[in-house]
A and B are shown apart, each in its own frame.
Chain A
């Protein structure tokens, strides 16, 4: 299997080695302590444009964009795919593979060979945070950074066109880490309850997936950042006025003048029903997700101590190891008793349930908001990927775009329950798929609260920095880099023949959205943001951001 794709391509290895899917998982997981390769295994990122043009046969990611760029004359010499090992933490990609140095050298080379024309960077999804990290890294002095000097970004970069950016993280990452399930898996579990929990092919699928994904540091970078200030607390959240019905309506009849319906609907929703408590990213039981905060038991998460470490696991559980086994039943109960977790307390929760992973990851990522950006501690690389704890580089001519889809319900918070206490079923929590909202507020569906977004990233996370955090001259953006928001209204493909649609707004499918591609091509050909028409907004992002009280 030397130099064969373990991830991406047809994934045949999982099926082909039907006796050894464990072997596959073993190779993909990283070392639990260092977050680097386990001894004797080297899995490396594929390089070149082939790295991510198609994820699996027929499932394009970058291919459409590349093809369209080629039409206006781009080719291998002026396109570069900065492939990196997305399992590692960002700084580790530099330590192990020198991926950041490579990216820097490639950008410099392209800048020189194309007659000193600045590059346009097009990161997607987590790549957005990766590139933020790069921006800081490249201008930092050598031992920790790339030593490019303070003018590097201004000299080499024309524009950053973030596609589906997860600037402030995604709630999906939390549920992924807590119980290795997102909505997709929760739905499967609801449909076929026995299927995933049974020892399918003699291995506990979910447990294994969780064990592997917990060794991937990069997932931690996607945790919600900014705590309660951004994501809301027990009683408050910036999106609370979001009306799911109206969202649906809007999503069906886009031709209606948006502003009007928006307003009226919102007013109605305002008075008619209770606001959604999106701030409680995880709550145990549907009731807990709706109660006012005064009625919630206030068990400080600090009290969650490992009272008794009598191990739950016994021999019958086989070789599956997750950290839950080390937690006693009582402490699991206590976790559940705490009822509701906000973006801030979540981190405590995760520290409690996955201590090793968080210990590793917190050396690489930070999720707070900086009080004083000039504090020397912010020179450490763990702050570089958090837009709320770094300053943008000194590059007034640069432009930053936030391009993302809207109009698809996106996971925002979850209703959990304790899973039936089965010994080997070692993940003690699962999404409560029976929790459905009443007819009035359809935001709660199958245990998941939805807001507007692109199916993976909520609008808030994607748009806030461009709409407010960096808009104008703020402390996060001292040189006043121009920011533009370009939203793309989701339209499902009209017929099956269209495949994944040319007007899609979904997180990955948006890479085939013709309007987005046109914007990227125009900028690559030299247009500025103002020439594109400035902002283009369909969602309530501006209003939501105004509600967020952050010092700028």
Chain B
């Protein structure tokens, strides 16, 4: 625009210059005047132009900029929509070479057909929860997912969200006026959040060989409440029983294959006892229900004996992830973000969830090790890396290094201070905390509405806990009873963590023992098969080094000591966390012990001799970013996309037995460790 105007201006100038020629005097005068006028005009014009230019540069360029961005955005969107669906795959193939067939396609080519109906039992956290009734603040969220999906509500109204997700502190059921229920159907847990698959890959592959909604069933349950309460409140167990019966009936008497994941494994253990127990407490299915209806149980990443992570979650609401975050940005989590204390709220919420207590380590010192002993003690963290490349050297390495390296004391699940975690037990001075008086109330008004049971504990109590120094799996229960009495009171009515001396004792008919594999017998179903499938090759939390947090009124008084690092020779201790082999969440010991020893052959836990198989999957991280979460992952949730695992499942669903799969497939030292555990079978 400015260019055009300038040119015009110069033209007019020329034209006026060549205009009059008659009277010279007049002309010159005229000319002078003209020139003056012109000058002033030109100045005016220049000024105007400058002003215009300024305006133009400010507003117009802004508009242009926005316009450009918008049109580019639209164009990209258009391109994206016009892109054929196979394009990303095409790019991936161009870069990495042709992908292997997904197992569903491969096995379909081999001629496998849908045979046995399949039941999925999702684990903790991965199942969606939706709102059926809420308080004022949750207006308009009817039948929207509060858990799973985008978690949009967490950001929009965090306090409201926490309030709705919490359960009643006394009963472990819904608080009054709130009803949150599990989402039902396959959508309940196929994707946890958008793009983050849980069951979706498995479902898609099963569909390839002919499965559909009528022979797949997602046994979604409310994973926050204790197992028996899901039946009391929602009749989830009855529902599952009826669905399994229906699927067996409609598919011509073919038994079902159960695929529980994570906590679902414990839930299904509970179910198997429940369904055969007589009516008022159980499902009244009769003692041969499992034998008649179940072909195989394929446990994926099952925390049979609990996970140490659950302890820290209950104790200080932090696991490795949070501890790392705290180390990096010390202020953030402790600050009053958005005017509320994040961790405290999270802890208060988690402590109302009974189900987390089902994952507290079970079996006490016998399984998890005492002060100076633990089954995994000769595990060598350095060798782990070598091992993942070459599995055959494991045993040699283990032997060779056991002489030199100090044993990591995995048995001490919680210890206060790094030195305590390492010295021999005789050198530790311990004060018994059990008698300690819960002194004056720490809470004051500045803590606002945040309520954790720590507030009820005096400084004396807290110090007493720290003075006890070291906690093993056995004493951790006492610790939890001490710091969270209400929760444990509720929990101990629903769960038990011991080892049974005499399984025929009448008391083991109570439902609180049903989810503990060390206190129940497997059902009488000699043709059933139990698979323990889990990933290995990822460092997994096993024990923690704690410290007292700086004494400030409102805070959780303990936190993981992220400064505790192991020496050069043993890298097992990192950021206050001692890790062993596992799938990032569940240690190998917990996932594999029952299959490797506890139930192997005819034992007192497995009176009918149900065959057990261990299938381990070595973790291989995705080769490049395009692969997403990898097809050979061994991580706790990502393993659901592991092709080898999916193939195994499909084969079993299509009718194969454990022996057809090739029996055990072991990469870790699970058999050696299990042997070290001295448990009467």
B176 to chain A, nearest CB (A): 13
Name which of B26-34, B178-186, B442-450 contacts chain A: B178-186
Any chain B CB within 8 A of the CB of A101? yes
Interface digits, B181-218 against A, CB 8 Å rule (1 contact, 0 not)?
11011110010000000000001100100001110000
Kindly count the residue-residue contacts between A and B in the assembled complex, taking CB atoms under 8 Å apart: 69
Name which of B234-242, B353-361, B563-571, B618-626 contacts chain A: B234-242
Contact B181 A113 (CB under 8 A): no
Given contacts A77-B234, A98-B250, contact A2 B179 (CB under 8 A): no
Any chain B CB within 8 A of the CB of A3? yes
Residues 239-287 of B at the A interface (beta carbon under 8 Å): 239, 242-243, 245-246, 249-250
Any chain A CB within 8 A of the CB of B468? no
In chain A, what residue has the closest Cβ to B132? Answer: A75
Query: Considering only CB atoms and an 8 Å cut-off, how many residues of chain B contact the other chain?
Result: 30
In chain B, what residue has the closest Cβ to A48? Answer: B185
Given contacts A3-B203, A76-B181, contact A98 B132 (CB under 8 A): no
Interface digits, B217-235 against A, CB 8 Å rule (1 contact, 0 not)?
0000000000000000011
Given contacts A97-B214, A102-B214, contact A109 B239 (CB under 8 A): yes
Contact A109 B214 (CB under 8 A): no
Any chain B CB within 8 A of the CB of A199? no
Separation of A75 and B204 alpha carbons in the complex (Å): 29
Contacts of A71 in B (CB 8 A): 133
Any chain A CB within 8 A of the CB of B676? no
B637 to chain A, nearest CB (A): 20
Any chain B CB within 8 A of the CB of A263? no
Any chain B CB within 8 A of the CB of A66? yes
Any chain A CB within 8 A of the CB of B81? yes
In chain B, what residue has the closest Cβ to A2? Answer: B204
A444 to chain B, nearest CB (A): 45
Main SS of the interface on chain A? helix
Contact B184 A44 (CB under 8 A): no
Q: By CB atoms of chain B within 10 A, which of A53, A67, A77, A101 has the most?
A: A77
Residues 365-400 of A at the B interface (beta carbon under 8 Å): none
Contacts of A44 in B (CB 8 A): 212-214
In chain A, what residue has the closest Cβ to B131? Answer: A70
Contact A45 B213 (CB under 8 A): yes
A115 to chain B, nearest CB (A): 10
| The one of B203, B234, B242 that contacts A105, using a Cβ cutoff of 8 Å | B242
Contact A113 B239 (CB under 8 A): yes
Residues 15-58 of A at the B interface (beta carbon under 8 Å): 16, 42, 44-45, 47-50, 53
Residues of A in contact with B, size category: 20 to 34
A348 to chain B, nearest CB (A): 38
A98 to chain B, nearest CB (A): 4
| The one of B133, B185, B249 that contacts A50, using a Cβ cutoff of 8 Å | B185
Contact A98 B238 (CB under 8 A): no
A227 to chain B, nearest CB (A): 37
Contacts of A50 in B (CB 8 A): 185, 187
Separation of A45 and B242 alpha carbons in the complex (Å): 21
Contact A108 B242 (CB under 8 A): yes
| The one of A16, A48, A67, A109 that contacts B242, using a Cβ cutoff of 8 Å | A109
A400 to chain B, nearest CB (A): 27
Any chain A CB within 8 A of the CB of B73? no
Any chain A CB within 8 A of the CB of B142? yes
Given contacts A45-B213, A75-B132, contact A2 B207 (CB under 8 A): yes
In chain A, what residue has the closest Cβ to B220? Answer: A76
Contact A48 B239 (CB under 8 A): no
Any chain B CB within 8 A of the CB of A112? yes
Separation of A66 and B133 alpha carbons in the complex (Å): 12
Separation of A47 and B183 alpha carbons in the complex (Å): 12
Contact B142 A70 (CB under 8 A): yes
In chain A, what residue has the closest Cβ to B217? Answer: A47
Separation of A101 and B238 alpha carbons in the complex (Å): 17
Contacts of B81 in A (CB 8 A): 16
Contact A66 B143 (CB under 8 A): yes
Given contacts A2-B204, A3-B203, A70-B132, contact A75 B181 (CB under 8 A): yes
Given contacts A67-B142, A70-B132, contact A101 B235 (CB under 8 A): no
B215 to chain A, nearest CB (A): 9
Contact A47 B185 (CB under 8 A): yes
What are some 28 contacts across the A-B interface (CB < 8 A)? A2-B204, A3-B203, A42-B207, A44-B212, A44-B213, A45-B213, A47-B185, A48-B187, A50-B187, A53-B143, A66-B143, A70-B132, A70-B142, A75-B179, A77-B181, A77-B239, A97-B213, A97-B214, A101-B246, A101-B249, A101-B250, A102-B250, A105-B242, A105-B243, A105-B246, A108-B242, A113-B235, A113-B239
Listed from nearest, the 5 A-B pairs whose CB atoms lie closest are A48-B185, A113-B235, A98-B250, A109-B242, A105-B246
Which B residues are closer than 8 A to A by beta carbons? 81, 85, 132-133, 142-143, 179, 181-182, 184-187, 190, 203-204, 207, 212-214, 234-235, 238-239, 242-243, 245-246, 249-250
Q: With contacts A102-B246, A109-B242 known, what are 6 further pairs, Cβ within 8 A? A: A3-B203, A3-B207, A49-B184, A102-B214, A109-B239, A112-B238
Which A residues are closer than 8 A to B by beta carbons? 1-3, 16, 42, 44-45, 47-50, 53, 66-67, 70-71, 75-77, 97-98, 101-102, 105-106, 108-109, 112-113
